[in-house]
């Protein structure tokens, strides 16, 4: 398989993944997003890519938590968040993200977005408010 063909296969895999995927640079700007991410929030690529990721979060606390987790451990796992769609509706999601570094320098995040129900969101945020979890539960 040629390098160009492999790249096209990976590009197709990401573009058509069954969960939302986006990349965010060190300054918080969205660099790229796949089809499902755009469809979830109802944006065309030119309306989403290039904007600050924080513009789409309903809760400031979520933004602060995400930034702290990625700056510290460089990873965020199963973090419940609420995103504002283009039509004004709120989407309840789980965020998984980690940092891509080159020569120790933050290049961009790799973010994965999974839609969840409002009930699942409420349960997960309640668990976060109660404090540390036991082994096997979602963590940040």
The answer to whether residue 136 is domain-embedded is no
Residue 123 to residue 120: CA distance in whole angstroms: 5
Give the number of domains in the chain: 1
The answer to whether residue 138 is domain-embedded is no
Residue numbers of the domain that contains 90: 3-130
Residues 5-49: tens digit of each pLDDT? 787 888 888 888 999 999 999 999 999 999 999 999 999 999 999
pTM of the predicted model, to two decimals? 0.82
Q: What is the dihedral of CA 69, 83, 34, 66, to 10 degrees?
A: 0
Name the nearest CA neighbour of 97 among 7, 38, 23, 17.
23
Question: Which CATH number characterizes residue 66's domain?
Answer: 3.30.450.20
Name the nearest CA neighbour of 63 among 73, 53, 71.
53
SS3 98: strand
The answer to whether residue 135 is domain-embedded is no
On the question of pLDDT at 106 being above 60, the answer is yes
What are 94's strand-pairing partners? 80, 114
The answer to whether residue 137 is domain-embedded is no
CA atoms within 13 A on the CB side of 116: 20
């Amino acid at each position: 398989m040629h390098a160009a063909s492999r790249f096209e296969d990976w590009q197709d895999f990401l573009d058509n993944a069954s969960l939302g995927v986006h990349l965010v640079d060190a300054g918080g700007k969205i660099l790229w997003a796949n089809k499902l991410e755009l469809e979830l929030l109802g944006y065309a690529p030119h309306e989403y890519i290039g904007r600050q990721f924080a513009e789409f979060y309903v809760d400031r606390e979520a933004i602060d938590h995400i930034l702290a987790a990625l700056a510290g451990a460089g990873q965020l796992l199963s973090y419940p968040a609420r995103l504002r769609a283009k039509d004004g509706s709120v989407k309840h999601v789980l965020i998984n993200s980690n940092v891509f570094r080159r020569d120790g320098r933050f290049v961009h995040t790799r973010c994965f977005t999974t839609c969840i129900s409002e009930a699942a969101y409420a349960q997960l945020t309640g668990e976060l408010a109660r404090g540390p979890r036991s082994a096997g539960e979602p963590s940040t």
